[in-house]
Structure 1
């Protein structure tokens, strides 16, 4: 397996490089998302930039406003995507990203900190809506899943950096580090090419051919069939301007939209943002005996290591298998944490001999999430829709993902305070159990290694056999 991967990397390294440069921004936004976990103790200390310690409600707003800002991303990317291109939108995400770090660095009151979180959320929403789409358009069928998984890998590296640096630096040290790393994203986005599809859409056929030659590591003749496939798709799909009505033009499109929206919301309802934003606090509340800072670093390392494995398995095991197995595992281990917290905090049972259980369950949670529930929804968005509606679908799925995330991150701590932390974890477990039932059912098709037309046949319940198109768009 590793020899095959090595040979593929040697031939297709430019695809991996372009996908990595585009995904690097998610490292910066991952750091901004994980920023709250180590920063909340700083905001409660004598070295806080704020004039007073924030209340529980204010801390919840600090955490959740990033997710609320994420709703702005699709609203920006969808109208602009067919006019200025994928590359320029990815470059544009630098503006709110850097502005957020600047505002956080100079913040002396809560409104400024709120504004910083909204700016980070806007950048994150833009990247979530556009980077997976970009990667899907530069990738080949056989390595589309592996390249798409790079996006999640960089996010998790960002979380690890926040968890590793935050407890051992000041508020300003962590914030300055995030700002400096975000500055590196500027040259990265200048170096990525525009996608071949968008160039063909704009009539720049020769430039599209040159980009394809570089990405595929082959000659002009070697990419001619793929180029002609792109031209045929543009001619067929873009006789009229895309509209929202196109998303329910066929039964298959309605089904694809329902699948992707549900899985994108499940991604948030599984509690990932809650756990990542409030990791240190939750490790204390569920009764683990390891220090909160050490626990968060361990979790960050687990995320990164698992993210390195994800590209190796996502195109081998398939999307459906990964979704139902990982969502089932999340439900089980979140439920176990809830039982542990109930015995510890409510019944005051002596759980000292089992103090390793919460951290162990959270580690397994991170492994499973990173392998399936995290990356698969965005891979499916890139695979299930025709190019005419792919950006619209990506924007809607991203919008619903952030909406679900905002509601949960805003009210999770209130639920935990009113009904017990165990109740909050059981709600997360129930959401994951629902995701398991959906993923294991025939409603979710397997798209591994299939062309767009083959996927559409499955979604429309067509049984006809068809030769794959020369390119999957």
Structure 2
């Protein structure tokens, strides 16, 4: 492979962007742990060995609590990402997530864990809105696709971590790891600049220039800074209305995004990740335990996602989405036939 298309070319001059994207989305590892936490932990909580006596009915609320939190957190997400910025929103979500892991570690009632997962859902919603905005606003075009995929790699890695830790280590271990991850983000990401786009939006051109110089080391940023200013002025002058979503190209974009979002949720990814151990137990595998199978399953997902993330800027989003949709459909059909 030539230098121009090689991985070294992608990362040339973009290391500060990579650093910011990694530590700005480190929360997603913790969020992946939260998402997959119920898979190994529900069997423990409803067992006779549980230190928190839990019925199956009570355990069933652990999953919707997270999703309800994410839904209820949308208004606060919109408010904070515009009011305090992308960076501070990510840090705020990390503080909330740290608090929820502390609750989980010391909880002696299932109600407290449900409350923690609700708050975690709100924090996760904020991160999965603020982080893509932040990454898109700091990333060079040649690496934007890869940097945008990091948050999902982090999520899958978090699932793998909790699948490894949950069945084989004490109950509180996953909480310690999750808290350590968000503490690391709070410590490191605090030193990274805010998005230059947001700073210009807020009328802080000097800070915006310094931010852009941080993300574009050794390169003149005057031309890009001017382009961002023009884009912001155009956006402020063209006040959008709800009906604009249903006209022209916006309608087509809305349909495409709705189809993609609907497909992602209707493929039952969250259901599988949250209940993987119980699903595998019901499947009755005689060759591998459900805990080991879950680790293999999540490792394959992470590997596939990592490979795709390095190809997304080369081959484009469409071919990867189509391939993924076809393979997912085949797998779901096979599961239903089973």
TM class, shorter-length? over 0.9
Question: 8 Å contact 1:48–1:171 — kept in the other structure?
Answer: no
Measure the CA separation in 2 of the matches of 1:21 and 1:182: 10
Measure the CA separation in 1 of the matches of 2:249 and 2:314: 25
Residue 140 of structure 2 is aligned to residue 140 of structure 1? yes
Give the drift of 1:210. Answer: 1.9
Give the drift of 1:243. Answer: 6.1
| Unpaired segments ≥5 residues, structure 2 | none
Alignment TM-score, normalising by the size of structure 2: 0.93
| Unpaired segments ≥5 residues, structure 1 | 341-473
Correspondent of 1:28 among 27, 30, 35: 30
1:350-429 map, 5 Å: none
Residue 269 of structure 2 is aligned to residue 268 of structure 1? no
Other-structure match for 2:202: 202
Distance 1:244 1:172, change over 3 A: farther
Question: 8 Å contact 1:97–1:182 — kept in the other structure?
Answer: yes
Please give the per-residue CA displacement for 1:338-395, whole angstroms capped at 9, x wherever unaligned.
223xxxxxxxxxxxxxxxxxxxxxxxxxxxxxxxxxxxxxxxxxxxxxxxxxxxxxxx
Question: 8 Å contact 1:42–1:170 — kept in the other structure?
Answer: no
Correspondent of 1:311 among 309, 331, 337: 309
Give the drift of 1:144. Answer: 1.2
Question: 8 Å contact 1:74–1:129 — kept in the other structure?
Answer: no
Please give the per-residue CA displacement for 1:312-352, whole angstroms capped at 9, x wherever unaligned.
11112211211122111111112112223xxxxxxxxxxxx
Other-structure match for 1:18: 20
Measure the CA separation in 1 of the matches of 2:308 and 2:73: 26
Other-structure match for 2:168: 168
1:436-455 map, 5 Å: none
1:72-471 map, 5 Å: 72-219=72-219, 222-239=220-237, 245=242, 248=245, 250-289=247-286, 290-340=288-338
CA RMSD, 1 decimal: 1.9
Please give the per-residue CA displacement for 1:2-48, whole angstroms capped at 9, x wherever unaligned.
85211331321111111111111101111111111111122023342
Measure the CA separation in 1 of the matches of 2:272 and 2:9: 38
Question: 8 Å contact 1:156–1:304 — kept in the other structure?
Answer: yes
Alignment TM-score, normalising by the size of structure 1: 0.67
Question: 8 Å contact 2:43–2:278 — kept in the other structure?
Answer: no
Give the drift of 1:192. Answer: 2.5
Other-structure match for 1:38: 40
Question: 8 Å contact 2:66–2:118 — kept in the other structure?
Answer: yes
